[in-house]
Amino acid sequence: MQVDPRGPRFGASVTTAVLVAVLVTGSWVLLAAQAVVFALAAFLGLRYAPYGLLFRVLIRPRLAPPRELEDAAPPRFAQGVGFVFALVGMAGYATGTIWLGIGATALALAAAFLNAAFGFCLGCEMYLFFRRVTAKFRSEREVPA
């Protein structure tokens, strides 16, 4: 599946705002809502992500067509990484281990901000790195007969 790269960047902008609100309020419930957003995108696909839906309905019709599309797998993986950080943050806030909640939320915020502000998707880069490493590992294990 191919996606308009402006969609995940828009989603990262909304995520940035939500995660700032989480850090300001310390609300694990708000972080749980963001975790649901991450989970929908990661496990069902970007087309089911609420922020992606907002982009497709409200923003994209007002923009020129994208110059190019990108593979959906890297941003989908990035949403999965965000989901893991949100779960860890929720656990921290919910159990009173506030430093863990703040730390996990801040790391997720840093990644979302990098994408929103600079178009650098840290989770996407992780996906590409893992693909290269696993491909190299597979090729090294194949022994010619």
- Please compute the mean of the pLDDT values over residues 41-60 and round it to a whole number: 95
User: What one-character-per-residue DSSP string does 59-70 give?
Assistant: IGGGSPPPS--E
Q: So what's the pLDDT on residue 71?
A: 95
As a 3-state breakdown, the chain gives helix, strand, coil percent values, each rounded to 5, of 80, 5, 15
**Number of C-alpha atoms within 13 angstroms, CB side, residue 26?**
9
pLDDT band with cut points at 50, 70 and 90 for residue 138: confident
- Give pTM, 2 decimals: 0.90
- The residue written with tokens 């694990």 in the block is 28
- Please compute the mean of the pLDDT values over residues 54-67 and round it to a whole number: 94
Q: Name 16's Cβ contacts closer than 8 Å, sequence gap at least 6.
A: 109, 112, 113, 116
- Please compute the mean of the pLDDT values over residues 13-36 and round it to a whole number: 97
* Other beta carbons less than 10 A from residue 64's beta carbon: 6
Q: Is pLDDT larger for residue 136 or for residue 68?
A: 68
- Please compute the mean of the pLDDT values over residues 37-61 and round it to a whole number: 95
Q: So what's the pLDDT on residue 140?
A: 73
